[in-house]
Amino acid sequence: MSSMERKGSISSTCSDSSAEETRDGVGKKIKIPVTVPKPFSFTLYSRLQQRRDFDDDLRKRQHAAEERDRISRERQEREEELELKKYRKSLNFKANPIRSYSGIYPNPSEKELTIPQGPRLLTENRLRTNPEDNPRADSRGSSDHSDIVYSTYSYNGPTVL
């Protein structure tokens, strides 16, 4: 008997689908349970599903963070607007009534008033000097001094110090 015939005869003689008969080398029949395949799945598919769940969770967290930031920015902008309005309102000119004070009067001094004296420039003395003695007289141009107007202010009153 060939192995093909044996396989065919075994499957034809076996009425129970859960066990299969085989012959060992001695000729005895041994019942071996039929291997039922378990459903399998690649790790790729489970990993893909985990990654999708993670991405969805991450996207939700990002949207929540963006929403919090947007709300925070809006709140901060509103607060800044209110502060700016308050500040501008405080800058408006508001008239205040004139306060009444008791009069402030300076005490009169016991000293007598001083009489002002003009500066003593001694211009007349300079003009009376001899132009030959004065080396600067030549550099001024003419030595006759006819075009110069001089002040003749003099005060000979009492001097109070």
Profile the chain (161 residues) by mean pLDDT over runs of 10 residues: 46 48 68 87 91 97 97 97 92 81 83 82 69 53 52 57 54
**Residue 75 belongs to a domain:** yes
| Largest Cα span, the chain | 167
pLDDT at position 9: 44
**Residue 156 belongs to a domain:** no
Domain that holds residue 46: 42-88
**Residue 69 belongs to a domain:** yes
pLDDT at position 77: 97
Q: How many domains does the chain have?
A: 1
pLDDT at position 149: 53
What is the C-alpha to C-alpha distance for residues 44 and 125, in angstroms, rounded to an integer? 120
pLDDT at position 138: 47
**Residue 84 belongs to a domain:** yes
pLDDT at position 94: 75
**Residue 3 belongs to a domain:** no
Helix (H) or strand (E) holding 83, with range, is: helix 43-91
pTM for the predicted model, two decimal places: 0.33
Closest to 19 measured CA to CA, from 44, 36, 2? 36
**Residue 56 belongs to a domain:** yes
